[in-house]
């Protein structure tokens, strides 16, 4: 055991700690100033796999250089940083690319993930959720959206993808969960894993934000249920008033639970405010109003 008894030794130790933390803070500031990602600590260190070149780092202003044509949707979810690591397996021709996107918050991470997944994907238990398709694996953990691609690995692709993914998950402290608001959606007829989160411009309106959308199918009838989470009850009421004002030239009927709006694109839309939420059902055709009434009531009861 190390024993320190002399004042000079204590002073030296204190100064060493001060220098260490000063260096760490200065280095962090320098990395940020030079545009170097802070995500490198999430890149796995896997036996026999090496990164022959330094990871590539991207920030909002240059994201298009890596995913030109798709950058806008990531930016719409307040994308923060991306680091890309390219691995090679020393004893074969196998290679793997890992992309780690810092989306700032858990909900934004789910948002971009939900925009790219499909309900019929092969979902696996990884992080909050993930899915595996041939030589790709995408998943979310905490505020991170992680995408992996494996090449020239044959039947081992899935094993390599899972190995790297699990190593990333281990390195994330706050692993997060799927959004609690998803539990409000009625289960009957819900197309599993169809839920999406849309941060802004919900239904195409700039004043509608923080929207959740879920697809439903009952025999030949397909429709959607939705939620919008206001910052508080006043914010939700403001969104409701602005939306009704936009729809004033269309048929707006006040019903016992809220409003039913005849829309040229979404057929019949049901809409109500419950505390700080707006909720509703849309794409209900005239011959299916009973279904619309039923699911509208179920959604309201769930929120209450």
Give the tens place of pLDDT for each residue, 159-173.
999 999 999 999 999
Distance from chain centroid for Cα 264? 31
Distance CA 198, CA 76 (A): 9
DSSP string, 198-259: EEESGGG-TT-EEEEEEEEEETTEEEEEEEEE-SSHHHHHHHHHHHHHHTTTS-EEEETTEE
Does domain 180-303 fall under CATH 3.40.50.720? My reply is no
- Burial profile 242-264: b = 16 or more Cβ within 10 angstroms, e = fewer: ebeeebeeeebeeeebbbbbebe
Contact criterion met (CB below 8 Å) for 93 and 152: yes
CB within 8 Å of 130: residues ≥ 6 apart: 123, 124, 137, 138, 139, 140, 165
Contact criterion met (CB below 8 Å) for 277 and 228: yes
Per-residue pLDDT at 36: 57
3-state DSSP assignment of residue 125: coil
Contact criterion met (CB below 8 Å) for 182 and 212: yes
Neighbours of 102 (CB within 10 A): 21
Asked if pLDDT for residue 4 goes beyond 90, the answer is no
pLDDT bin (cut points 50, 70, 90) of residue 174 is very high
Does domain 40-171 fall under CATH 2.60.40? My reply is no
Per-residue pLDDT at 148: 98
Q: What's the whole-number mean pLDDT along residues 126-138?
A: 96
Cα distances (angstroms) measured from residue 20 to each of 2, 37, 216: 20, 21, 57
Contact criterion met (CB below 8 Å) for 281 and 272: no
Per-residue pLDDT at 37: 63
Cα distances (angstroms) measured from residue 252 to each of 78, 137, 230, 259, 299: 34, 45, 22, 7, 20
pTM score, two decimals?
0.85
3-state DSSP assignment of residue 304: coil
Asked if pLDDT for residue 243 goes beyond 50, the answer is yes
Asked if pLDDT for residue 209 goes beyond 90, the answer is yes
Per-residue pLDDT at 157: 95
3-state DSSP assignment of residue 18: helix
Give the tens place of pLDDT for each residue, 68-102.
889 999 999 999 999 999 999 988 899 999 999 99
Asked if pLDDT for residue 260 goes beyond 70, the answer is yes
DSSP state of 183: G
Nearest to 199 by CA among 239, 178, 229: 229
Give the tens place of pLDDT for each residue, 8-42.
443 343 334 333 333 333 333 434 444 556 899 99
Distance CA 183, CA 108 (A): 18
Per-residue pLDDT at 27: 36
Q: Domain limits of the chain?
A: 40-171, 180-303
């Amino acid at each position: 055991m190390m024993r320190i008894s002399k004042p000079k030794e204590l002073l030296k130790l204190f100064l060493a700690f001060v220098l260490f933390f000063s260096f760490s803070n200065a280095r962090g500031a320098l990395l940020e100033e030079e545009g170097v990602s802070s995500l490198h600590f999430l890149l796995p260190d896997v036996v026999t796999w090496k990164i022959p070149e330094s990871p590539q780092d991207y920030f909002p202003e240059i994201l298009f250089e890596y995913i030109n044509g798709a950058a806008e949707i990531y930016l719409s979810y307040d994308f923060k940083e991306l680091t890309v690591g390219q691995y090679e397996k020393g004893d074969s021709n196998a290679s793997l690319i890992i992309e780690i996107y810092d989306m700032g918050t858990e909900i934004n991470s789910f948002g971009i993930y939900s925009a790219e997944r499909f309900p019929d994907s092969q979902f696996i238990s990884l992080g909050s959720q993930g899915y595996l398709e041939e030589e790709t694996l995408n998943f979310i953990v905490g505020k991170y959206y992680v995408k992996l691609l494996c090449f020239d690995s044959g039947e081992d692709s899935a094993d390599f993808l899972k190995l790297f993914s699990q190593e990333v998950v281990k390195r994330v402290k706050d692993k997060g969960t799927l959004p609690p608001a998803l539990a409000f959606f009625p289960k009957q007829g819900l197309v599993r894993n169809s839920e999406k989160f849309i941060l802004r411009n919900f239904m195409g309106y700039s004043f509608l934000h923080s929207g959740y959308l879920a697809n439903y199918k009952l025999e030949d009838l397909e429709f959607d249920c939705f939620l919008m989470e206001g910052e508080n009850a006043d914010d939700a009421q403001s969104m409701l008033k602005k939306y009704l004002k936009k729809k004033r030239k269309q048929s707006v009927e006040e019903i016992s639970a809220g409003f039913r709006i005849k829309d040229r694109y979404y057929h019949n839309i049901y809409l109500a405010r419950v505390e700080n939420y707006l909720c509703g059902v849309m794409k209900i055709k005239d011959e299916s109003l009973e279904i619309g009434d039923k699911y509208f009531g179920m959604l309201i009861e769930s929120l209450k």
